[in-house]
Amino acid sequence: MNLDELKSFLDFKAEQFETPDFIAFDPISIPHQYHLREDIEIMALLVATIAWGNRKSIIKSGHSLINLLGDCPYDYLMSNDHNEPLPFVHRTFNGEDLAFFLKGLKHIYSESTLEITFAKNDVKNGLINFRDKMLGTQNGHRAKKHLSNPNANSACKRLNMFLRWMVRSNAKGVDFGLWSSIPPSSLMVPLDVHTGNTARTLNLLVRKQNDWKALEELMNVLVTFDPNDPTKYDFALFGLGAMEEF
């Protein structure tokens, strides 16, 4: 395929996969169970943070988070000190790590909003600012390893997925479109095994590692396909890899 044909193919696949049917089998189903903005943000951030492994396992752990934080995660967050570990584990993310994240989020909401924390000059600076705010006085905590750092060349897959959820329009019924201070044009796709392998198969990506440099390389192409909403192609690349074994 030439570039025009490839764009048409990916546009078609993005349309195919970005439908409400996508939700039930994806971690985004967890924040979709809430309606208050802050509740959606908190649950989206937490379930995105544990989004590695197979999706059934992630969703199961997401339901465990719902059982722990209840119907009003924001109220739970702000009314507790989070000094003790919680009865939770997902792979290497345990109850001590969850308490760390809750304490960090409480600090952010006490000072500002999660949106403002991420809304810096560009996505990379927003990710760094969020990480710095979360670490705060807890810099030596073991959960530090669960906060991706683009300055260390991490692709920050899970945080970029969270940002896609928060920023992209909810017109298709999948993402939330809650945040207006970050333009969709500046978002980065969540680069994982599926998106990376599909991108390489389609000659959109040459670099072998799924790191920040590879992400920039991929985005340089996707932004030419749709400069206003390049991360819509996450649905195409992920869907082709994970669902169609492209």
Over the chain (246 residues), the average pLDDT of each successive run of 10 is 94 98 96 98 98 94 98 98 96 96 96 97 96 87 92 98 98 98 98 96 97 98 98 97 86
Beta-bridge mates of residue 211 = 154
Q: What is the pLDDT, as a whole number, of residue 148?
A: 95
Kindly report the CA angle at 18 between 12 and 23, in degrees rounded to 5? 155
Q: What is the pLDDT, as a whole number, of residue 141?
A: 84
Radius of gyration of the chain (CA): 17
Q: What is the pLDDT, as a whole number, of residue 5?
A: 96
Q: What is the pLDDT, as a whole number, of residue 245?
A: 79
- Here the tokens at position 238 are 């992920």
Regarding pTM above 0.85, the answer is yes
- Here the tokens at position 103 are 């304490």
Q: What is the pLDDT, as a whole number, of residue 89?
A: 97
Contact call for residues 73 and 42 (beta carbons, < 8 A): yes
Q: What is the pLDDT, as a whole number, of residue 76?
A: 98
User: Helix, strand, or coil here: 94?
Assistant: strand
- Here the tokens at position 17 are 């996969």
User: Helix, strand, or coil here: 151?
Assistant: helix
Residue 104 CB coordination number (10 Å): 23
Q: What is the pLDDT, as a whole number, of residue 138?
A: 79
Query: How many whole angstroms separate alpha carbon 125 and alpha carbon 201?
Result: 30
Residue with tokens 């530090």: 144
**Treating both helix axes as pointing N-terminal to C-terminal, what angle do 37-49 and 157-167 enclose, rounded to 10 degrees?**
160
- Here the tokens at position 232 are 């819509």
Scanning the chain, the segments in alpha helix (DSSP H) are 3-17, 37-49, 55-69, 73-78, 95-111, 114-118, 123-135, 157-167, 193-201, 212-225, 233-238
Query: Nearest 10 degrees: CA dihedral of 106, 112, 117, 120?
Result: -170
- Count of structural domains within the chain: 1
Query: How many whole angstroms separate alpha carbon 150 and alpha carbon 80?
Result: 31
Tell me which amino acid residue 234 is.
Answer: D
Contact call for residues 179 and 119 (beta carbons, < 8 A): yes
User: Helix, strand, or coil here: 116?
Assistant: helix
**CA 113 to chain CA mean position, Å:** 17
Residue 24 CB coordination number (10 Å): 10
Range of the domain at 8: 3-243
Q: What is the pLDDT, as a whole number, of residue 121?
A: 87
